[in-house]
Amino acid sequence: MEPIAPITGMNDVLPERAPAWQHVERVAREVFAAYGYQEIRVPILEQTGLFKRAIGEFTDIVEKEMFSFEDRGGDGLTLRPEATAGIARAAISNGLVHNQRHRWYTLGPMFRGERPQKGRYRQFHQIDAEAYGFEGPDVDAELILLSARLWKRLGIEGLKLEINSLGTPEARRAYRATLVEYFSAHADALDADSTRRLGGNPLRILDSKNPALAALIAGAPRLTDHLDAESRVHFEGLCARLDDAGVAYTVNPRLVRGLDYYTRTVFEWITTAWGAQNAVCSGGRYDGLVAQLGGEHTPAVGWALGIERLVILMEEQGRTVSAEPPHVFFVMVGAAAERLALRLAEQVRDAWPDLRLETGLGGGSFKSQFRRADKSGAALALVLGDGEVERGVVALKPLRLGGEQEEVALADLPARIGSRLGLG
């Protein structure tokens, strides 16, 4: 029979890679805790209308990347392409926006029908941070400092921070008009995507990844010249706090971000090591989003990072993470030994909850089980054959430990293992 193929752009994280993922997730949870961010978990499926309203009709995501379908009842559902919309929806659904402040994070899979390539997949995973109810640039700065601490804790080097301000929706509308004027005057030079965006969302032309447009985009009017006074003060406040903290950044007036909901602050941590997939972590402020989704006006700001891109970067920088080897490998040969060994193994695990003990299940000679024991990386082998069963002992054979082999009475086994391994 033909094997069933995996879905394009959706990857298996195999056990050899899983420790790196676990490490990233564990460190992220610790860093979030250090700043008072709490975990929130929201569904992977939402109504399609949520993303259309939150992300915007004229974005790549909504126009061509969403995995949308009708369920059996005829409702339009979509696999979430990002986490912010669902979290804003959850804040409203649970009555958590009125006069409240929250610092939240979430981890999980996102889905976008993009062309798969290095660092770009159809199911990918994000770590997402959100702060609700905070007006000022101090929380924008905190979120950036939090991400910088994450890079430090993970040992990731060379990420560059770019920041920009998109101003208020009104300021953006004025800027939009000047952009339409500029790009219309150069309509011949635009590609098909950009021509389409010129009508719907001309700011997105600035976000184009087509190198043929780079010069045209570089010559476009700058949003920073159209900022409203309050947004300017907000942006200067953010810059001052980043300066205080010694976080280096570049102001990139072309940074607009691919989603419509942003206002004021936007930022990206980028790597210079790759091509188009250069954004490792992206975020910004979206003060209008909650109201746009039918909730009470609530300022909000957040970021999301791609775990795949982070893990690739760590590997490229030699930061590999391997699984912890077992402390103990139990070699057991013969029917009676196997039964007794399973029981003893449970007693040892009862005594040492953090101990990693692997058994030589599946049988095989002493020689082949010792080979497996060696390969496992265990420090200590326990050996049980017919002779040991008869004498009522287990042999302890150091593999990656000093000291001699010894025989231990069954009742003394947990304590003896503890002292040989220096546990407890």
Which one, 55 or 227, has the nearer CB to ligand ATP? 55
Q: Measured from the CB of residue 115, what is the shortest distance to ligand ATP in angstroms? A: 9
Strands (E), 178-316: 250-251, 263-270, 279-285, 300-306
CB contact at 8 A, 105 and 37: yes
Q: Measured from the CB of residue 420, what is the shortest distance to ligand ATP in angstroms? A: 46
First to last CA, the chain: 53
Which one, 231 or 277, has the nearer CB to ligand ATP? 277
Distance between CA atoms of 9 and 109, rounded to whole angstroms? 13
Q: Measured from the CB of residue 171, what is the shortest distance to ligand ATP in angstroms? A: 22
Q: Measured from the CB of residue 367, what is the shortest distance to ligand ATP in angstroms? A: 46
Which one, 85 or 383, has the nearer CB to ligand ATP? 85
Q: Measured from the CB of residue 303, what is the shortest distance to ligand ATP in angstroms? A: 8
Distance between CA atoms of 265 and 172, rounded to whole angstroms? 13
Distance between CA atoms of 50 and 294, rounded to whole angstroms? 11
Which one, 308 or 388, has the nearer CB to ligand ATP? 308
Which one, 31 or 279, has the nearer CB to ligand ATP? 279
Distance between CA atoms of 166 and 203, rounded to whole angstroms? 10
Residue 326 to residues 5, 97, 228, 379: CA-CA distances in angstroms?
Answer: 34, 47, 60, 8
CB contact at 8 A, 319 and 114: no
Q: Measured from the CB of residue 141, what is the shortest distance to ligand ATP in angstroms? A: 19
CB contact at 8 A, 410 and 396: no
Which one, 82 or 142, has the nearer CB to ligand ATP? 82
Distance between CA atoms of 243 and 149, rounded to whole angstroms? 15
Q: Measured from the CB of residue 246, what is the shortest distance to ligand ATP in angstroms? A: 24
The residue sitting closest to ligand ATP, measured at its beta carbon, is: 306
Distance between CA atoms of 247 and 59, rounded to whole angstroms? 31
Which one, 156 or 378, has the nearer CB to ligand ATP? 156
Distance between CA atoms of 419 and 417, rounded to whole angstroms? 5
Residues that bind ligand ATP (CB under 6 A): 82, 112, 114, 119-121, 124, 126, 258, 277, 279-282, 304-306, 308-309
Nearest alpha-carbon partner for 244 in 341, 324, 137, 334: 137
